[in-house]
Amino acid sequence: MRKLFSVLAAAAFALSIVAGGCAKEKAPSPSEPAKKEAAGKEKKAAPKVGVKLFPGTIEALDAAAGTLTLKGPKGAMGFQAHGKVKEQLDGLKIGDKVIVKHVDEIALSIVKPRTRKNALDRKEKEGAVKELGPVPQAE
């Protein structure tokens, strides 16, 4: 009985020392919580606007009213254009493939996607494409 009591007392003593040491290590310094709260407030202060891209084919177009309906991979979606974006509707027609940068249903910009043919045509108009002769072969 004495042996059992002394073993239990020694175990309790060792456990109290270990638990006291662990408790001191986990306590944060008083300056750390203030820094975490300040950092959390800065992140919440400026929410980002949800600007998205929607690629698709023009199904309906009313340049005078500034409305545009596209059929894309996510289904059909209608957009409203204002100001300078309304001017981008002038060169478009039904069936054209375009990419609309938008927030909800408000179009921020409307552009035709670049293709190799469009890029070459543009360079030829600018005079940037030069005719190259045959490539010399090494013997």
Residue 107 inside a domain? The answer is yes
Which amino acid is located at 137 in the chain? Answer: Q
Which amino acid is located at 57 in the chain? Answer: T
Looking at residue 71, which CATH number applies to its domain? 2.40.50.140
Residue 101 inside a domain? The answer is yes
Q: For residue 105, what are the domain limits?
A: 52-115
State residue 127's pLDDT score: 60
Residue 96 inside a domain? The answer is yes
Residue 68 inside a domain? The answer is yes
Here the tokens at position 138 are 């090494």
pLDDT tens by residue, the chain, 139 residues: 778 878 878 877 777 777 666 555 555 555 555 555 555 555 555 556 788 999 999 999 998 899 999 999 889 999 999 888 888 888 889 999 999 999 988 999 999 888 766 666 666 666 655 555 566 677 6
> Strand, coil or helix: what is 99?
strand
> Strand, coil or helix: what is 92?
coil
Residue 108 inside a domain? The answer is yes
Exposure on the CB side of residue 37, measured as CA atoms within 13 A: 5
State residue 27's pLDDT score: 55
Residue 64 inside a domain? The answer is yes
Residue 105 inside a domain? The answer is yes
Residue 61 inside a domain? The answer is yes
Here the tokens at position 98 are 């375009």
Instruction: Count up the domains in the chain and report the number.
Output: 1
Residue matched to tokens 């698709």:
56
Exposure on the CB side of residue 36, measured as CA atoms within 13 A: 6
State residue 24's pLDDT score: 53
